[in-house]
Amino acid sequence: MNERKYDLETICANGGYSPKNAEARICPIVQSTTFKYDSSDAVGDLFDLKAEGHMYSRISNPTVEVLEKKIAALEGGLGAVATSSGQSANLISILTIAEAGDSIIAASNLYGGTYTLFSSTLKKFGINTIFIPLNDEKALEEAIKAGGKLFFAESLSNPSVEVLDIEKAARICHKYNIPLIVDNTFPSPVLLRPFEFGADIVTHSTTKYIDGHATSVGGIIVDSGKFNWEKNGYKSISDKDPAYHGLSYTETFKEKAYITKARVCFIRDLGNPMNPFNAFLTNLGLETLHLRMRKHSDNALKIAKFLESHEKVEWVNYPGLESSPYYELSKKYLKNGASGVISFGIKGGLEASKKWIDSLNLISLVVHVGDLRSSALHPASMTHRQLSSEALEKAGIKENSIRLSIGIENTDDLIRDLKEAFEKIE
Ligand SMILES: *Cc1c(COP(=O)(O)O)cnc(C)c1O
């Protein structure tokens, strides 16, 4: 299929797979670790990256490739690598660029897992992270001047639902010739395509909306192919790699240098690919993504308005609300809906928040977001409990913050559940 000819809705349903005569209409699960070849030279060429093809499912697999092609097309990128989790996608998106001794820049309102990956684990790899406030032009310029080799931020942050000004960030990054990586998990490519605003690399936790049915942990990295690694002095990508007989990724793979290196260096060596069964399930979810994102967004806006009008609610953050400081940015970046996540605070602090969550009936307490079923969570005591109180504040999380992930159920039913829980607290 030539995805470029089609709209998002058509790509969701048909992208990445075109069966030939009498082949399965649905992409089969190729549950095979390995692939058979007729000659040793053919296998040698695969190892030397002279030929394309699957040889071992740690590096690539036909079912996973369908998902990679579809998501690359949805984002408008030219290649993608699916990983075992969103964490792996973010880790590899960085390692493909930065090495021990380098610094990277990240917005401080990241998802808790990514924050600890950067602040603690990457430090053990010798990579230092400079955290800066979101949408702070001056801080970004200073961090670049201090040596930051890339800027990483979430398009819509988890859980504070703050909107990244992608165009502004890209303009500053490109003025100083560094790449912009955007974690686009919350909007999904249906609501926002960061490449259209200048981002260079996009990552996702496919675990969330792309799967959407809470069945499969996974992640993906998508390359726009637009950043010039060689010209901008990214030697880790342009220099000859001794692990491949002195091949240079930029010379051999041109605009696909980054995404090829991510796969053949890091997925190969660290061993964190997506598996074919998860790719099959994730793709099944992805087929209806455009329908779900619309419904998640419509429902969340209704619920956010209900919460805003409730006497027991102290504050509500949802970028689709006119009262939100991110409303103007959301009109630019999230025109078709602001996704399904709301964060809000209950009057009465920690105890009232916990009691409220425990009193929900239909909406379930789960450590998840982006499922088609509604759920609630208390970040300070759950997903973000490893963060210091200072880091929590910088991440936009208060003691009474509740993250609501609004599903695709009937909103009257959801509002009744919310109301009944409010009645249980003082
Ligand atoms: C969940 C999440 C991740 C991590 O993804 P996993 O699939 O859980 O490893 C990264 N970024 C964002 C924005 C997320 O919501």
pLDDT tens digit sequence for 351-385: 899 899 999 999 999 999 999 999 999 888 887 78
Structure token digits, residue 269: 């060596």
CATH fold for domain 289-423: Aspartate Aminotransferase, domain 1 (3.90.1150)
For CATH 3.90.1150.10, list the domain ranges present in the chain. 289-423
- For ligand 1, the distance from its centroid to the CA atom of residue 394, given in whole angstroms, is 18
Q: Could you tell me the pLDDT band of residue 343, with boundaries at 50, 70 and 90?
A: very high
Ligand 1 pocket residue status of 113, Cβ below 6 Å? yes
Q: Which residues contact 64 (CB under 8 A, 6 or more apart)?
A: 57, 82, 273, 274, 275, 276, 279
CB atoms near residue 360 (< 10 Å): 18
CB atoms near residue 42 (< 10 Å): 12
> Which residue type does 375 have?
S
Q: Could you tell me the pLDDT band of residue 392, with boundaries at 50, 70 and 90?
A: confident
Strand pairing of 375-377 and 364-365?
parallel
**CA pair distance 12, 385, nearest whole angstrom:** 36
Q: What is the pLDDT of residue 243?
A: 87
404-417 tens-digit pLDDT: 999 999 999 999 99
Phi-psi sector, 290: left (phi>0), alpha (psi -120 to 50), beta:
alpha
* Residue closest by Cα to atom 8 of ligand 1: 86
CA atoms within 13 A on the CB side of 67: 32
Q: Quick one: what percent of the chain has pLDDT higher than 90? A: 88
Q: What is the pLDDT of residue 51?
A: 86
Which residue is listed with tokens 């409220």? 356
Q: What is the pLDDT of residue 395?
A: 77
Q: Which residues contact 116 (CB under 8 A, 6 or more apart)?
A: 386, 387
Cβ distance 204 to 71 under 8 Å? yes
- For ligand 1, the distance from its centroid to the CA atom of residue 173, given in whole angstroms, is 24
140-153 tens-digit pLDDT: 999 999 999 999 99
Which residue is listed with tokens 């010798």? 126
CATH fold for domain 3-285: Aspartate Aminotransferase; domain 2 (3.40.640)
Q: What is the pLDDT of residue 420?
A: 97
Q: What is the pLDDT of residue 229?
A: 97
Q: Quick one: what percent of the chain has pLDDT higher than 70? A: 100
- For ligand 1, the distance from its centroid to the CA atom of residue 221, given in whole angstroms, is 12
Structure token digits, residue 275: 């598996």
- For ligand 1, the distance from its centroid to the CA atom of residue 86, given in whole angstroms, is 5
Mean pLDDT of the 285-296 span: 98
* Residue closest by Cα to atom 6 of ligand 1: 86
What separation in angstroms does the CA of 153 have from each of 10, 89, 136, 237, 361? 29, 14, 12, 22, 34
Q: Buried b vs exposed e over 152-175: b needs ≥16 C-beta within 10 Å?
A: bbbbbbbbbbbbbbbebbbebbbe
User: Over 80: is that where the pLDDT of 107 sits?
Assistant: yes
1-59 tens-digit pLDDT: 888 899 999 999 999 999 999 999 999 999 999 999 999 998 888 888 888 899 999 99
Q: Which helix (H) or strand (E) holds 280?
A: helix 276-286
For CATH 3.40.640.10, list the domain ranges present in the chain. 3-285
CB atoms near residue 177 (< 10 Å): 13
Cβ distance 227 to 97 under 8 Å? no
Q: What is the pLDDT of residue 176?
A: 98
Measured in whole angstroms, the distance separating CA 291 from the mean position of its chain's CA atoms is 19
DSSP conformation letters of 42-66:
HHHHHHTTSS----BTTT--HHHHH
Please state which of the ranges 18-22, 124-128, 362-366, 390-394 shows the lowest mean pLDDT.
390-394
Ligand 1 pocket residue status of 118, Cβ below 6 Å? no
The whole-chain average pLDDT of the chain stands at 95
Residue among 83, 85, 87 to mutate when testing ligand 1 (max atoms within 8 A of CB): 87
Q: Which helix (H) or strand (E) holds 366?
A: none
- For ligand 1, the distance from its centroid to the CA atom of residue 205, given in whole angstroms, is 5
* Residue closest by Cα to atom 1 of ligand 1: 205
Strand pairing of 180-183 and 148-154?
parallel
Ligand 1 pocket residue status of 160, Cβ below 6 Å? no
Q: What is the pLDDT of residue 334?
A: 98
CA atoms within 13 A on the CB side of 161: 32
Q: Which residues contact 364 (CB under 8 A, 6 or more apart)?
A: 373, 374, 375, 376
- For ligand 1, the distance from its centroid to the CA atom of residue 300, given in whole angstroms, is 20
What separation in angstroms does the CA of 227 have from each of 77, 203, 278, 316, 420? 12, 16, 30, 38, 52
User: Over 90: is that where the pLDDT of 272 sits?
Assistant: yes
Q: What is the pLDDT of residue 149?
A: 98
Q: What is the pLDDT of residue 150?
A: 98
User: Over 90: is that where the pLDDT of 102 sits?
Assistant: yes
Ligand 1 pocket residue status of 111, Cβ below 6 Å? yes
Cβ distance 249 to 225 under 8 Å? no
Mean pLDDT of the 99-111 span: 97
Mean pLDDT of the 110-123 span: 96
